[in-house]
Structure 1
Amino acid sequence: MPDTLIEVRALHAGYKGHAVIEDINLSLGANEVLCLIGHNGAGKSTLLKCMFGLLPKMQGEVRLGGGLTLNEVALVPEGKGVFPSLTVRENFDLGLDAAKIQAAERGARIDWVLKVLPQIREFLHRRAGTLSGGQAQMVSIGRALLKRPRVLIMDEPSIGLAPKLFQDLLGPIRALQQAEGLTILLVEQNVREALKVSDRVAVMKQGRIVWRGTPSELNNDRLMELY
């Protein structure tokens, strides 16, 4: 049984006193990819913000286990998540600043990310605002990886991407996860592609988790019932 790195218990959270998510129970284990799916407005992003400490909870708790700290958790936000007026390298420098990486280690961190996502080399010195949607999403993920996190949370990385581009993006991330024991929470609406790289699945609907299981258990009929 893998260590539980993040455990959510009876969590309620929302905005201005109004609960958006209610009674959420969810665990994220070491060395796994958990896919969280649901329609827009289901409460997925609210749950992520609360797990990441960006939104106060109304009730319940979020526990970190296995010696995990929030500094070892990286979030890839919904949308492009880059500074368009800066070059890709300058975006990376900001990521290194935020992670408080020492100057002597910065070159090695960037080299490591470029091995994981080698296509970034082609546009490392271009302004991020000139990149395609797929390139910008790659930079956003690369910047999150600079801190060498134990847990990577990705919020809707397929937004604005063609299915083939999304496949090309997920491939190296899954390979990295398997090679280094990275734990990933993948929040997605592109269910078909997300399930291909996931170990477990949770389905959210109207602020609650309504189903948990494995990708093989979530056939089309079951998915239609849940949605």
Structure 2
Amino acid sequence: MSAIQATGLAAGYGGREVLQDINLTLNEGEALCIIGHNGAGKSTLMRCLFGLHRPTAGSITVFGQTLPRHEPAALGAAGIALVPEGRGVFPDLTCEEIFGLALWSAGVPKAEGALRIEEVLEILPRIKEFRTRRAGTLSGGQQQMVSIARALLTRPKALLLDEPSIGLAPKLFQDLMEPIAALVKSRGMSMLLVEQNVHEAFAVSDRVLVMRSGRLIREGTPAELSDHSVLMELF
């Protein structure tokens, strides 16, 4: 069964078309990466998949079902979580307060909340060093850890990550993605990764889709698309 399937998806802003006839399948337990140039439509696609932007055409199913309302709350309840571009942490809240808000929003019982936080801290242990600090005082890499941890608190069956490497050194991005890739393998979690850091993204992906000018133009394995000259032709 697919975790997410989009068929004939189209979307735009103010009458300007951004996505055209997108057909995409994220399989259960798969790490799928989407790459493409700036402005290709990758973030718009992620916003549509997570119910933050309404498509003008097409359909989206989640674990084989069409949701009555394709919106973030319903998708969260179905087991989908998003780590947005730009991290989206609340700068005036501490990490612990952000986690508490995420647990409350997901309807996690108080008695279970502490267990879930400890579970996430085992995955991303460096957060223990700054869990009581306000998010606005953290570095970009630390904020990204908090954003990913917040999503993992819901124990998602499918995790969507939109450009998580922005502003991060390659080594830090690698350190962030390795435990996420391990979850894909150990839990059978699905991951959809939109990324421009091709080398590091390919290292944690099973399959790659290339997007250009609002369309998906190529599919392959990381090995098939790792040649620099091939990527230059596609971009």
TM-score > 0.5 by shorter chain: yes
- CA shift for structure 1 position 132: 1.0
- TM normalised by structure 1 equals 0.96
Question: Partner amino acid for 1:57?
Answer: P
SS at match of 2:165: coil
> 1:116 offset after TM fit, Å?
0.8
Match in the other structure for 2:122? 115
1:26 aligned to 2:24?
yes
- The equivalent residue for 1:41 is 39
Hey, what's the Cα distance between the residues in 2 that align with 1:40 and 1:142?
Answer: 27
- Equivalent position of 1:208 in the other structure: 215
AA aligned to 2:108 is I
Cα separation, 2, equivalents of 1:174 and 1:100: 26
1:1-227 equivalent positions in 2, closer than 5 A: 3-66=1-64, 70=75, 71=77, 72-218=79-225, 219-227=227-235
Q: How many positions carry a matched residue from both structures?
A: 225
Q: Deviations over 1:162-181 (max 9, x none)?
A: 11111111111111211111
- Note the alpha carbon deviations across 1:50-103, whole angstroms, 9 max, x for none: 111111111111112256971210000001221111110001111112111111
- Whole-angstrom distance in 2 between the partners of 1:99 and 1:40: 33
Q: Using the alignment, how far apart are the partners of 2:45 and 2:219 within structure 1?
A: 16
The 1-side partners of 2:91 and 2:133 are apart by 10
Alignment-mate amino acid for residue 16 of structure 2: H
Structure 2 unaligned residues grouped into runs of 5+: 68-73
Structure 1 unaligned segments of length 5 or more: list them: none
Q: Separation in 2 of the partners of 1:117 and 1:217? A: 31
Give the SS at the match of 1:140. Answer: helix
Give a deviation string over 1:120-160, Cα, whole Å, max 9, x none: 11111011111111111000000000000000000000000
Which consecutive aligned stretches of 4+ in structure 1 deviate over 4 angstroms post-superposition? 66-69
Select between 139-148 and 51-60 the one with higher mean Cα deviation: 51-60
Paired with 1:129 and 1:217, the residues of 2 have a C-alpha distance of: 41
* 2:61 partner SS: strand
3-state SS of paired residue (2:55): coil
Q: Deviations over 1:3-25 (max 9, x none)?
A: 21111111100112221100101
CA distance in 1, matches of 2:190, 2:4: 10
Query: Could you tell me how far apart the structure 2 residues matched to 1:17 and 1:56 are?
Result: 13
RMSD: 1.2
